[in-house]
Structure 1
Amino acid sequence: MKTKRIFLIVLDSFGIGNAPDAKEFGDEGSNTLESISTSKEFHVPSMDALGLLKIDGVQVKGKAENIKGSYGRMTEASRGKDTTIGHWEIGGIVSKKPLPVYPNGFPKDIMDEFERRTGRKAICNLPYSGTEVLKDYGKEQMETGALIVYTSADSVFQIAAHEEVVPLEELYKDCEIAREILKGEHGVGRVIARPFVGKDGAFVRTSNRHDFSLLPPKLTMLDVLMENGLETKGVGKISDIFAKKGISSSVSIKDNRDGMMKTLEIQKEDFTGLCFINLVDFDMKYGHRNDVDGYAKAITEFDTWLDKFLHNMNPDDVLMITADHGCDPGFPGTDHTRECVPLLITGEEIKKGISLGTRDTFADIGASVLDLFELEGDIDGESFIPLVS
């Protein structure tokens, strides 16, 4: 099989339930796909045609008869359910040790050093919803100039500030300071800038979010591709997640729609390598906000776009679609959920209608990407390409 370009799309948080260890994470019964399928806004004929609704364990009924891709589900081998761990595993790193989380806030010595080096007081320092923290602390932030520091069930150190009070350049610098402090035992997966605008009672987060990630602990498929002269294009927060390591070029996006349009532009380019795309709205705007209809509508919009993408594929292109974790908008709470994720693959030379069953790790994608380019690398995972070629 001769592959020139691979497009790997991560539908951020699009879980499909049934993770065997969900109970250990307090997520037993969560199922993002099933929750959004109850909405009148849910309509996914393109993904149905690729086999989404034929995946083992999926109870949502589909209408497609002639399946145009191969399909399966993947369980997460890493001890986590966050964006960083999920993407690293897709790239070929199984993280047996979970990244640190802070259900009671960050230690005093960490916060003292952060305040000393930034020159600003920090307020909150608790796990919080990103929208609720603005309701409770946004006014104080504007009045005092203090930085809102908060976390979640994930390994994150988030800093929120009003753009008119703390300029973006300063906020990003404050995040860099936090990233320098948070190492070793306190090496959180991501430090995230969360700028906002508006007035008390109507604060809104802007698209100027920026992630400062921990360096991956070992080589990923991205490093192997670059070492062999192939291009690695990141769309969305891919470059941030991998701390720019293994990324030859990156395109930032404002939202899902912008990401999909920019991916269509890249599809017109002549390159050899991987285009790795993250579409974050599913997670950020809908999963965390328990918005079932909004999530369903966003998936439907992606599915409509997917039909156009599929028609524009070249004979030597391969498309893979997956997710990095779940964030069931119909499940109690607003945190990520421990779920299996879908695996869809299609291309002119990819066999159609093959069930790939249940894969033991997301890292099988990384191994398969290398296999398609006939490369070898010291990464985790087992290629599924022999099953579909």
Structure 2
Amino acid sequence: MARSIIIVLDSVGIGEMPDAENYGDLGSHTLGNIARQRGGLNLPFLQKLGLGNIDLIPGVPASHNPEGCFGRMAERSLGKDTTSGHWEIAGVILERALPTFPDGFPNLFIERYELAIGREVIGNEVASGTEIIQRLGEEHVRTGKPIVYTSADSVFQVAAHEEVIPLPELMRICQIARDMLTDELQVGRVIARPFLGKAGQFYRTTNRHDLALEPPQKTLLEYVQERGLEVCAVGKIRDIYAGRGITDFVTTKGNMEGVDKTLEYMTKVKSGLIMTNLVDFDMLYGHRNDVEGYARALEAFDARLPELFAALRPEDMLIITADHGCDPTLSGTDHTREYVPLLVYGSALKKGVDLGVRSTFADLGATVAEYLEAEPMVKGKSFYASISRRVIE
């Protein structure tokens, strides 16, 4: 009846990796820099788990008796993308980074895409999603031309006003893009970015949808499903893994709903895996350089941890981690190449074990696979033996 609950705090990095300079991310430390600029973070329950034992975070001192096991993980895959980060957690390590397009997509592709969808497009540039709809939104409303843009991540994004291009049509033209983006253009995600409002007051809605590239190898989710266990996805997890290995899913419209839906699954899932992505840290605050908003979102999540603790069963393993960084204190608005925190908690597990620096996110997936008695993962080294009371005793 064992269960593992993985909560991915999207973009909550914990310090630059050794190769951060290659990505233009020297000095990045999402948690530490937010805390320093803000004058401290109030995260008492994450502190109890051992967050402050991983690295120096103002306001989150190291605990003398951490309730959880703690460490941090390095990304072995090239890049700093949501897709690659989540895939590596689940045991897929990319030897080649997913393609990015700092000068926009090739003109020849855009021309082919326009013919395929029956519309001209505007944009085709690297841009912030909130900024580009303010700048090009009025032209889009007037002409009906969808806004195409990308970022430092491996994404093809299509923004459209819901009253100009209805959601079903937006999803159709995004699916066409997904089908056309192959070979050297094979981005990790095609993202539908609907918005509403009027000139000068456009705002993105929560009807976003990601069309992800299928993982190239079998993931943790599939290993667990093949074991005959439930695999429940909360937030954009289903999109990231292209639905593979998932037995049930629910979409969410924010971090707090993500916690709510996780708790709902915890009341009814008997055994298996619950995996949650909390996207607000990244989408609403990291990419917008909103330090205070990011800090408040962290504190809001921390305040919900007692509910998650109370919902845990004796044989549960709760894991809190991230997929990359997105330091809002830096001048750019892109993801940052950072370590991610690793916090593991459960009444059947030891307390206070320092898990050190894991050489790959895949160690997490390997550990969960062993814990749930699934087929051993190909990539990653399980640390279950070091945290299980049953192994020693």
Normalising by the smaller structure, the TM-score range is: over 0.9
User: Does the 8 Å CA contact 2:86/2:323 hold for their aligned counterparts?
Assistant: yes
CA distance in 2: counterparts of 1:210 and 1:41, whole angstroms = 34
CA distance in 2: counterparts of 1:301 and 1:379, whole angstroms = 37
Q: Does 1:169 align with 2:178?
A: no
CA distance in 2: counterparts of 1:41 and 1:76, whole angstroms = 27
More moved, 33-42 vs 289-298:
33-42
Structure 1 counterpart of 2:262: 263
1:93-121 residue CA offsets vs partner (Å, 9 max, x unmatched): 11010011101111122111211111111
Q: Does 1:22 align with 2:23?
A: no
Question: How is 1:221-370 mapped onto 2 (pairs within 5 angstroms)?
Answer: 221-370=220-369
* C-alpha spacing 1:16/1:227, structure 2 compared with 1 (3 Å): same
Q: Does 1:51 align with 2:50?
A: yes
User: Does the 8 Å CA contact 1:223/1:245 hold for their aligned counterparts?
Assistant: yes
More moved, 35-44 vs 72-81:
35-44
Structure 2 counterpart of 1:386: 385
Question: How is 1:107-122 mapped onto 2 (pairs within 5 angstroms)?
Answer: 107-122=106-121
Q: What's the offset of the Cα at 1:128? A: 0.3
Q: What's the offset of the Cα at 1:267? A: 1.4
CA distance in 2: counterparts of 1:379 and 1:142, whole angstroms = 49
CA distance in 2: counterparts of 1:98 and 1:364, whole angstroms = 20
Q: What's the offset of the Cα at 1:345? A: 0.2
Aligned residue identity for 2:247: S
Aligned residue identity for 1:22: A
Structure 1 counterpart of 2:33: 35
Root-mean-square deviation over aligned CA pairs: 1.2
Structure 2 counterpart of 1:6: 4
Q: What's the offset of the Cα at 1:378? A: 4.4
Aligned residue identity for 2:165: V
CA distance in 2: counterparts of 1:322 and 1:379, whole angstroms = 21
Aligned residue identity for 2:21: K
Aligned residue identity for 2:217: K
1:38-80 residue CA offsets vs partner (Å, 9 max, x unmatched): 325721110100001101x435441633311100000100001
* C-alpha spacing 1:21/1:373, structure 2 compared with 1 (3 Å): same
User: Does the 8 Å CA contact 1:350/1:388 hold for their aligned counterparts?
Assistant: yes
Secondary structure of the structure 2 residue equivalent to 1:170: helix
User: Does the 8 Å CA contact 2:31/2:57 hold for their aligned counterparts?
Assistant: no
Structure 1 counterpart of 2:391: none
Structure 2 counterpart of 1:178: 177
1:101-152 residue CA offsets vs partner (Å, 9 max, x unmatched): 1011111221112111111111110000011101111000000000100000
Gaps of 5+ in 1: none
CA distance in 2: counterparts of 1:385 and 1:259, whole angstroms = 27
CA distance in 1: counterparts of 2:153 and 2:254, whole angstroms = 22
Q: What's the offset of the Cα at 1:211? A: 0.1
Aligned residue identity for 1:179: R
Question: How is 1:116-155 mapped onto 2 (pairs within 5 angstroms)?
Answer: 116-155=115-154
Structure 1 counterpart of 2:219: 220
CA distance in 1: counterparts of 2:67 and 2:182, whole angstroms = 46
1:242-269 residue CA offsets vs partner (Å, 9 max, x unmatched): 1111111110001111111111111111
Q: What's the offset of the Cα at 1:312? A: 2.2
User: Does the 8 Å CA contact 2:369/2:377 hold for their aligned counterparts?
Assistant: no
User: Does the 8 Å CA contact 1:41/1:296 hold for their aligned counterparts?
Assistant: no
Aligned residue identity for 1:18: E
Identity %: 52
CA distance in 2: counterparts of 1:218 and 1:154, whole angstroms = 21
1:249-298 residue CA offsets vs partner (Å, 9 max, x unmatched): 11000111111111111111142100000000000000000011100000
Q: What's the offset of the Cα at 1:207? A: 0.2
* C-alpha spacing 1:41/1:140, structure 2 compared with 1 (3 Å): farther
1:285-334 residue CA offsets vs partner (Å, 9 max, x unmatched): 00000011100000000000012211221101110000000000101100
Structure 2 counterpart of 1:102: 101
Aligned residue identity for 2:372: F
Q: Does 1:68 align with 2:97?
A: no
More moved, 261-270 vs 150-159:
261-270
Secondary structure of the structure 2 residue equivalent to 1:36: helix
CA distance in 1: counterparts of 2:25 and 2:306, whole angstroms = 33
1:328-358 residue CA offsets vs partner (Å, 9 max, x unmatched): 0101100000000000001011110010000
Secondary structure of the structure 1 residue equivalent to 2:268: coil
Secondary structure of the structure 2 residue equivalent to 1:180: helix
Q: What's the offset of the Cα at 1:387? A: 0.9
Secondary structure of the structure 1 residue equivalent to 2:195: strand
TM-score, normalised relative to structure 2? 0.96
User: Does the 8 Å CA contact 1:156/1:189 hold for their aligned counterparts?
Assistant: yes
Aligned residue identity for 2:308: F
Gaps of 5+ in 2: 389-393
1:193-242 residue CA offsets vs partner (Å, 9 max, x unmatched): 00000001000000000000000001011111111111110000000001
Aligned residue identity for 2:300: E
1:338-389 residue CA offsets vs partner (Å, 9 max, x unmatched): 0000000010111100100000000111101101012224431110111111
User: After the TM superposition, which segments of 4 or more aligned residues of structure 1 sit over 3 Å from their partners?
Assistant: 57-61
TM-score, normalised relative to structure 1? 0.97
Secondary structure of the structure 2 residue equivalent to 1:268: helix
CA distance in 1: counterparts of 2:364 and 2:226, whole angstroms = 18
Secondary structure of the structure 2 residue equivalent to 1:379: coil
CA distance in 2: counterparts of 1:119 and 1:41, whole angstroms = 52
